[in-house]
Structure 1
Amino acid sequence: MSLSRRNFLAISGAVASVGALAACGTGASAGQKGDGTIQFWSNHPGKSQAVEQQIIDAWNAANPKTPAKLVDGGANYEELGQKFNAALAGGQLPDVIVASDVTWFNFALNKATTPLDDLWTKAGVKADTYVDTLREDYAYNGKHYGMPYARSTNLVYLNTELMQKAGLGSSGPTTWAQFAEWAPKLKEANGGKPALVIPDGKNYLDWYFQGMVWTFGGSYSKDWTPTFTSAETIAAGQFLQDQVKAGNIAISNDAVNQFATGGAAGLLESTGSLTGLTKSAKSPFFTAYLPGPKPGAATGGAGLGIPAGISDERKLNAVKFVDFLTNTANTVKFTQATGYMPVRKDALDDAAEKQFLAQNPNAMTAIRQVNENTKSQDAARVFVPGGGTRIGAALDRITTGKEDVKTVFQQLQDDTQKVVDRDIKPLI
């Protein structure tokens, strides 16, 4: 069978531990009581620190007996995960953490975060008001270990003026083959600069490339079997390398700025960059789906988890806080400030959101795409320990490093299989 997220979670209940994140379990003494303040560890996805603090201020005004404090958890999801691991090994645990599409599962698998379903009932949280697909992304072994927060897909951003100058209209390419046909025209329209810029392997190229692989008929894995050496996956890697060699695609450690300043006609980036780009881009742009055939994009972003090693009282307060942080009004506020997708079903009925989307049609692209052009990610990236980092490094080797695709992907295949054999197979 193919490994959908639900199929995987159904068969993985026997897994007890993985030698990766949170390998030492809860570490700290069970039932930590804390100091009465809800400690919220965030990496501020989408440069959201200011809006996070606004929402927290509103919570504190309404809940003075259980105030929340915003704590800087690191510059990205990985740094926050490392900080949480340190706390698990014997430090003071937070009450709420941001957990990414990659980190949440390892935390749940190792019982570092707590199942939320019973807490939802006790706190009166209406879990069915979350967008079903986003809520179920955090399901494992019949329980949920996260609540949707900064959820995203990836988009193509295209410079409106350069698209018109190249005679390509106001719609994105429908396939990657069509992009390759368009690229020389876009380069010419922009003085020879790349047609598209994509973040490098240290900035989630492994996430962006995943959709491209699917459109070539490939994948990172099938069930627990890596598929980096399949003909289709290698073809996708070769296409990416060829486009980089031709100057059609640039790989950058600051792709957003390169596009914003006119250094490329197009950008492949998260929806979470939309609001910032709207403010910083020197030229008008529009957003488009990733090229197909469908599905051409992966869901992503982060949810919110609650540590297992804190007291029941802290857990209950934490889930109430998360419910507030992600309620309809606040998910509208948060997503308008960042570009992420609203996580509550009724957000699109909100008057302020309707007005915002009417005035900002670029924001609607991701909302439509999540239902039309996405699927859940392959296990080799999000469930196999270290998958994203391992894949990203390999993609850097074939793009900026110009190494042979088959050789690099064979090593990636072998390295991934070793991790599966060592950390996964003995436990299922």
Structure 2
Amino acid sequence: MKKLGLFLVMAIALMVLAACGSEESKDTSSGSAEAASDKIELTYWYAWGDKIGENNENLVKQFNESQDKIHVTAEFQGTYDELHAKTQAAFAAGNAPEVTQNEIASMGVFAKSGMTQDLTSFIENDKEINMDDFNPGLMGNSYVDDKVYGLPYLRSTPILYMNATMAEEVGLDPAGPKTWEEFEEYAKAFTNGEGRVGMSLPIDIWFYEAHVAQAGGTMMNEDNTEVAFNSPEGAAAFDFWRNMSNEGTMKLSSGTEAGDKAKQDFVNGHSGMLFSSTADLSYLLQLAEEKGFDLQTYFMPKGKEAKVPTGGANLVMTSGLDEEKQQAAWEFIKFMTATEQTAYASEYTGYLPSRLSAAESEKMQALYKEKPQFKVAVDQLENGIARPMAENYPEVVKILIDEMTRGILDESIPTEEVLDTAAEKANAVLK
């Protein structure tokens, strides 16, 4: 059944790739320059544009200029979901990129289906790389069956963003809310009955994972064979959203544009707070400056516990490469995750510095002093937990989001029914 499921996924992905084939792909100087014929050619696929896309292109350009044996072409592929679908399709067609990104919850799917290369032997045979230098809070999703399949690259946690100027105007403490109860109080104070709410929030699995963990629960059982969100803790997390939505202090939205809408509401002053990735920090600071308000960042408010999921992507090598391309791909992955490049990416985007040496570098310490907003996510890593990596977790996520959306739209459906229905469907997929 699992192999059949994989073939179906690949078939769907092929159709997605064909549908996307007519779309114009981003092609910048780092990827379009003609390389010397004696260089080893690699293709690197990445997700997300704006500052994140610029960072990828800049680092690839730096790699190409740092040596004369390997040339990497960087290619933008859309969101994580689009990147994954295209990678699956390209792998099935025999023309996958040598290096790509796996969003961390998808590491297990790609590794167990044989699409990504086990990097353990490369690490063991390389005297230059120091695995102890990677932040332990970010390594949980690098391992599949006790083997390393990816190195932390652009990694994140969700953090709380607040319009501190607006908070001052409504008489709130700029120190920000530290608990769920305080968060609800802040949301009420921001809500004015004239279109402004405390928070605009997408119905997003990452934030739900955070709140389930903060309530003391888990999304999956220990061996990832069944879901565990249909529990009192899972219900507490969903009711946290549902109650605030019913009170009018939180605007919940679904769909592919929901995350962008939430950010737009925040930037345009239609909400006082925002949950979003630390990866959005540079971009949101820029927009806040343009809009003329003070943006501050905080830990996610805690429930019974102060846990928070990590996010973002690991760099992976696709399987089936010849030895020459394997070694070239490994050199590229090492460069992209090295201390200097990690510090560059963190400063440029707001993503976490995945290496301890990068976080402790003069460059990052100077940034934290100048802009303490960048340090919040780094400090919050003490509460970081890995995301589930069940082989069919992406399907579980879709089922749960659909049922939660149904429950938000129809207040008459009991929370237990929403989660039990989602659990029944999800467990069928897992089995």
Equivalents in 1 of 2:233, 2:263: separation in Å? 29
Q: 1:104 aligns with which of 101, 104, 107?
A: 107
Equivalents in 2 of 1:217, 1:135: separation in Å? 22
Correspondence for 1:393 = 402
Equivalents in 2 of 1:236, 1:53: separation in Å? 39
* Residue 19 of structure 1: how far off its partner (Å): 2.9
SS of residue matched to 1:308:
coil
For each residue in 1:378-405, what CA deviation from the matched residue of structure 2 results, as whole angstroms up to 9, or x when unmatched? 467x863512222222232223454623
- 1:250-265 matches, within 5 Å, as 250-252=251-253, 253=258, 254-265=261-272
SS of residue matched to 2:393:
coil
Q: Using a 3 Å threshold, how does the CA distance of structure 1 residues 333 and 391 change in structure 2: closer, same or farther?
A: same
Contact 1:18–1:109, Cα closer than 8 Å, also in 2: no
- Within the alignment, does 1:79 sit opposite 2:79 as a pair? no
* Residue 256 of structure 1: how far off its partner (Å): 1.2
For 2:367, the aligned partner's letter is F
For each residue in 1:124-170, what CA deviation from the matched residue of structure 2 results, as whole angstroms up to 9, or x when unmatched? 43322222232342112221000101100001111102222232212
SS of residue matched to 1:195:
strand
Q: Using a 3 Å threshold, how does the CA distance of structure 1 residues 379 and 126 change in structure 2: closer, same or farther?
A: closer
Equivalents in 2 of 1:20, 1:103: separation in Å? 13
- 1:301-316 matches, within 5 Å, as 301-316=312-327
- 1:209-248 matches, within 5 Å, as 209-223=208-222, 224-248=225-249
For each residue in 1:197-238, what CA deviation from the matched residue of structure 2 results, as whole angstroms up to 9, or x when unmatched? 2223xxxx1111111122333332322332333233223212
For 1:217, the aligned partner's letter is G
Which range moved further: 102-111 or 166-175? 166-175
Correspondence for 2:28 = none
Identity of aligned residues (%): 24
Equivalents in 2 of 1:51, 1:77: separation in Å? 16
Equivalents in 1 of 2:389, 2:141: separation in Å? 13
SS of residue matched to 1:173:
coil
Correspondence for 2:351 = 340
- Within the alignment, does 1:64 sit opposite 2:74 as a pair? no
Correspondence for 1:406 = 416
Contact 1:46–1:273, Cα closer than 8 Å, also in 2: no
Equivalents in 2 of 1:385, 1:258: separation in Å? 28
Contact 2:156–2:377, Cα closer than 8 Å, also in 1: yes
Correspondence for 2:297 = 287
SS of residue matched to 1:37:
strand
Correspondence for 2:428 = 418
Equivalents in 2 of 1:18, 1:131: separation in Å? 37
Q: Using a 3 Å threshold, how does the CA distance of structure 1 residues 311 and 328 change in structure 2: closer, same or farther?
A: same
For 2:82, the aligned partner's letter is E
Contact 2:368–2:374, Cα closer than 8 Å, also in 1: yes
Q: Using a 3 Å threshold, how does the CA distance of structure 1 residues 379 and 122 change in structure 2: closer, same or farther?
A: closer
For 2:385, the aligned partner's letter is K
Contact 1:46–1:272, Cα closer than 8 Å, also in 2: no
Correspondence for 1:143 = 147
Q: 1:271 aligns with which of 269, 278, 282?
A: 278
Equivalents in 2 of 1:390, 1:417: separation in Å? 10
For each residue in 1:93-132, what CA deviation from the matched residue of structure 2 results, as whole angstroms up to 9, or x when unmatched? 2110110022211111112101112112444433222222
- Within the alignment, does 1:359 sit opposite 2:370 as a pair? yes
Q: 2:40 aligns with which of 36, 41, 56?
A: 36
Which range moved further: 401-410 or 318-327? 401-410
For 1:392, the aligned partner's letter is I
* Residue 271 of structure 1: how far off its partner (Å): 0.6
SS of residue matched to 1:267:
strand
For 1:273, the aligned partner's letter is D
Correspondence for 1:6 = none
Contact 2:105–2:389, Cα closer than 8 Å, also in 1: no
Gaps of 5+ in 1: 1-14, 26-33, 422-428
The count of residues paired between Structure 1 and Structure 2 equals: 391
| CA RMSD, Structure 1 to Structure 2 (Å) | 2.5
Q: Using a 3 Å threshold, how does the CA distance of structure 1 residues 47 and 395 change in structure 2: closer, same or farther?
A: farther
* Residue 71 of structure 1: how far off its partner (Å): 1.1
For 1:351, the aligned partner's letter is E
* Residue 246 of structure 1: how far off its partner (Å): 1.4
For 2:343, the aligned partner's letter is V
Equivalents in 1 of 2:409, 2:338: separation in Å? 43
For 2:137, the aligned partner's letter is T
For each residue in 1:23-82, what CA deviation from the matched residue of structure 2 results, as whole angstroms up to 9, or x when unmatched? 679xxxxxxxx9831100101367422222221112111222211110122x21111111
Equivalents in 2 of 1:126, 1:102: separation in Å? 24
Contact 2:167–2:190, Cα closer than 8 Å, also in 1: yes
Equivalents in 2 of 1:23, 1:398: separation in Å? 28
Equivalents in 2 of 1:159, 1:52: separation in Å? 29
For 1:359, the aligned partner's letter is E
Q: Using a 3 Å threshold, how does the CA distance of structure 1 residues 184 and 142 change in structure 2: closer, same or farther?
A: closer
Contact 2:106–2:389, Cα closer than 8 Å, also in 1: no
- Within the alignment, does 1:325 sit opposite 2:336 as a pair? yes
TM-score normalised by the chain length of structure 1: 0.85
Equivalents in 1 of 2:57, 2:269: separation in Å? 32
For 1:64, the aligned partner's letter is D
Equivalents in 1 of 2:42, 2:340: separation in Å? 21
TM-score normalised by the chain length of structure 2: 0.84
Correspondence for 1:178 = 182
